[in-house]
């Protein structure tokens, strides 16, 4: 009887050189594409090549191909909910454009612009658009371009304007349950989508407020003599000419926020929001043909308003438009699974991991590893997906919740990927905004400060989410809360470790509410 089972081999960890080979392959191919200005500048094929190299390293270390495939499939299986959510995100963006919700957000938001408040108001507007669309790339490529023109009219340094746009777009992206990185971070950490979004508020909201204060201070020093609101007015006129706009159209956004606050399961919350958007499209914008609605949901929309920025903003959405991102995430997760299974990650970071015995040290290591993956693997998905399996059990060992892991992954993996010109994010934003990442880096206050804030507060024993749902505030008070989702076995281990650490005085005990 024939069998497909490969003979059993002795398995070992790769040495340092072997462990670096898949990463070096990925980095070399990405640098060739983005820095060498090749005709091909995506991460997909470099990822496939790097997966092949990782499998060869695994084979040299004694793993069978089936071992390597199992490692990749395990990582993919843990993230399938995020993939399904990303399919529905395309539906949501299309429904929010059809309903007039996204156009209304931009139309009324542009009224906030005044010369003195251009920087903070622009940052806030980019955040709102990023939140509504679930995409920092969409926010920068649409409303961000408009703000660059307005900023130039005000005589503002383009580096400051670009940094403001990046800060706003990425805070909106991080807060949005529609974002691909938000869904990926929750998936690889095996926690709930809205548990993750709630945890991110604890670091992103304070640094966003700090960024707005800094932009306000910079804005007050601007000479307003050359202010020309013409670009913003043209965009408003184009939106008003294509949609029946009213503040009433903000209700679908309220539904998304309510789903976050109520911690509705991700797929359920997004689909409820999609149906809300469709209802508004039918009753406020005159979409009565079911075939047209289905076409828009599947393939996206295309507008010709006569305003280039409005057309770029509105001609998007649809399930098909998510496939580039979904393909990249599938390959990135497979790559992370291959690196994990062949032992490359253990060789490179295992020694560091063994020495991590404090919450602050663990958070700092997670942040540094994410930035390392951003810089060397050239993609934010890898900055999130690769460190997750490396540190997940360590978070359980210290009695932390899984949304503490997901928050830490995004604090650095998402926000610092745009700081390097050879990453997908950095190259894209450089192309859209025309400002080099190294130039806008000092003014992207949110991206710059967020991981620093997260690291400092964790090292001080503050701003920490524990496995039993309790939360240690910025002021050192530990309060009871809702338990974040986690794998059942991992949650049991984390709870046992948390109780042990509390007995040893290494973790705070929640304060009892007065009767």
Please determine, for residue 2, whether its predicted confidence score (pLDDT) is greater than 60: no
Q: What was the pLDDT predicted at 473?
A: 92
Q: Round the CA-based radius of gyration of the chain to a whole number and report it.
A: 23
Please determine, for residue 494, whether its predicted confidence score (pLDDT) is greater than 80: yes
| Closest to 166 measured CA to CA, from 438, 452, 454, 429 | 429
Q: In 3-state terms, what secondary structure has residue 473?
A: coil
Contacts of 336 (CB under 8 A, 6+ apart): 75, 188, 382, 385, 386, 388, 389
Q: Tell me the mean pLDDT in the region 34-50.
A: 76
What are phi and psi for residue 472, nearest 5 degrees?
Answer: -90, 115
Q: What was the pLDDT predicted at 263?
A: 63
pLDDT digits (tens, 9 = 90+) for 243-265: 999 989 988 878 876 776 676 77
Sheet holding 464-465, edge to edge: 464-465, 471-472, 478-479
Average pLDDT, the chain: 83
pLDDT digits (tens, 9 = 90+) for 154-209: 667 889 989 999 999 998 778 777 777 888 888 888 898 888 988 999 999 999 99
Q: What was the pLDDT predicted at 213?
A: 95
Spatial separation of the C-alpha atoms in residues 35 and 45, rounded to whole Å: 16
Spatial separation of the C-alpha atoms in residues 349 and 421, rounded to whole Å: 25
What are phi and psi for residue 400, nearest 5 degrees?
Answer: -95, 160
pLDDT digits (tens, 9 = 90+) for 442-454: 999 999 999 999 9
Q: What was the pLDDT predicted at 500?
A: 93
The token duo for 340 is 């994990």
Q: What was the pLDDT predicted at 207?
A: 95
pLDDT digits (tens, 9 = 90+) for 117-147: 889 988 998 888 788 767 787 678 667 766 7
Please determine, for residue 505, whether its predicted confidence score (pLDDT) is greater than 80: yes
Q: Tell me the mean pLDDT in the region 6-32.
A: 82
Which run of H or E residues covers position 157? none
- Most confident option among 18-27, 170-179, 224-233, 306-315: 18-27
**pLDDT band at residue 308 using 50, 70 and 90 as cut-offs:** confident
How many CB atoms lie under 10 A from the CB of residue 175? 23
Give the whole-number percent of the chain exceeding pLDDT 70: 87
How many CB atoms lie under 10 A from the CB of residue 36? 11
Is there a contact between 476 and 184 (Cβ–Cβ < 8 Å)? no
Please determine, for residue 515, whether its predicted confidence score (pLDDT) is greater than 50: no
Q: What was the pLDDT predicted at 42?
A: 73
DSSP string, 50-62: HHHHHHHHHHHTT
Give the whole-number percent of the chain exceeding pLDDT 90: 32
pLDDT digits (tens, 9 = 90+) for 288-300: 899 999 999 999 8
How many CB atoms lie under 10 A from the CB of residue 179? 26
| Of 187-201, 321-335, 474-488, the least confident | 321-335
Q: What was the pLDDT predicted at 447?
A: 94
Spatial separation of the C-alpha atoms in residues 238 and 132, rounded to whole Å: 19
How many CB atoms lie under 10 A from the CB of residue 215? 26
Which run of H or E residues covers position 479? strand 478-479
Domains of the chain: which residue ranges? 80-323
Q: What was the pLDDT predicted at 479?
A: 92
Q: What was the pLDDT predicted at 149?
A: 59
């Amino acid at each position: 009887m024939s069998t497909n089972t490969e003979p059993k081999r002795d398995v070992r960890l790769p040495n340092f050189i072997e462990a670096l080979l898949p990463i070096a392959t990925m980095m070399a191919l990405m640098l060739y594409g983005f820095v060498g200005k090749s005709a091909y500048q995506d991460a997909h094929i470099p990822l496939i090549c790097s997966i092949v190299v990782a499998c060869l390293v695994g084979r040299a270390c004694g793993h069978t191909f089936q071992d390597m495939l199992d490692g990749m499939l395990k990582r993919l299986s843990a993230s399938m909910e995020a993939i399904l959510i990303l399919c529905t995100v395309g539906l949501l963006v299309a429904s929010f454009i059809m309903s007039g919700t996204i156009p209304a957000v931009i139309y009324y938001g542009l009224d906030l612009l005044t010369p003195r408040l251009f920087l903070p108001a622009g940052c806030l507007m980019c955040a709102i658009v990023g939140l509504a669309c679930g995409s920092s790339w969409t926010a920068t490529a649409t409303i961000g371009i408009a703000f660059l023109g307005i900023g130039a009219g005000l005589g503002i340094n383009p580096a400051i304007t670009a940094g403001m746009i990046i800060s706003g777009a990425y805070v909106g992206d991080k807060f949005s349950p529609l974002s691909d990185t938000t869904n990926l971070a929750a998936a690889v950490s095996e926690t709930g989508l809205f548990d993750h979004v709630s945890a991110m508020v604890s670091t992103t909201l304070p640094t966003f407020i700090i960024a707005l204060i800094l932009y306000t201070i910079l804005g007050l020093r601007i000479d307003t003599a050359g202010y020309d609101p013409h670009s913003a007015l043209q965009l408003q006129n184009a939106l008003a000419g294509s949609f029946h706009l009213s503040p009433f159209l903000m209700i679908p956004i309220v539904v998304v926020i309510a789903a976050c606050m109520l911690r509705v399961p991700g797929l359920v919350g997004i689909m409820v929001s999609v149906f809300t958007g469709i209802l508004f499209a039918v009753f406020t914008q005159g979409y009565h043909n079911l075939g047209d609605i289905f076409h828009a949901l599947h393939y996206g929309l295309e507008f010709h308003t006569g305003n280039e920025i409005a057309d770029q903003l509105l001609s998007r959405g649809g399930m098909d438009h998510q496939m580039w991102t979904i393909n990249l995430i599938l390959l990135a997760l497979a790559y992370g699974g291959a690196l994990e299974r062949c032992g490359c990650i253990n060789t490179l970071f295992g020694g560091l991991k063994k020495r991590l015995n404090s919450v602050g040290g663990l958070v700092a290591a997670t942040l540094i590893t994410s930035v390392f993956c951003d810089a060397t693997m050239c993609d934010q998905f890898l900055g999130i997906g690769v460190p997750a399996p490396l540190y997940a059990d360590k978070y359980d060992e210290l009695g932390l919740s899984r949304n503490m892991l997901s928050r830490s992954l995004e604090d650095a993996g998402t926000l610092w990927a745009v700081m390097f010109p050879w990453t997908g994010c950095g190259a894209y934003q450089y192309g859209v905004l025309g400002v080099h990442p190294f130039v806008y880096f000092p003014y992207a206050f949110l991206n710059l400060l967020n991981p620093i804030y997260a690291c400092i507060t964790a090292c001080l024993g503050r701003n920490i989410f524990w496995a039993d749902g309790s939360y240690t505030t910025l002021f050192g008070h530990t309060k009871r809360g809702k338990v974040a989702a986690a794998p059942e076995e991992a949650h049991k281990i984390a709870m046992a470790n948390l109780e042990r650490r509390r007995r040893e005085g290494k973790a705070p005990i929640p304060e009892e509410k007065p009767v």
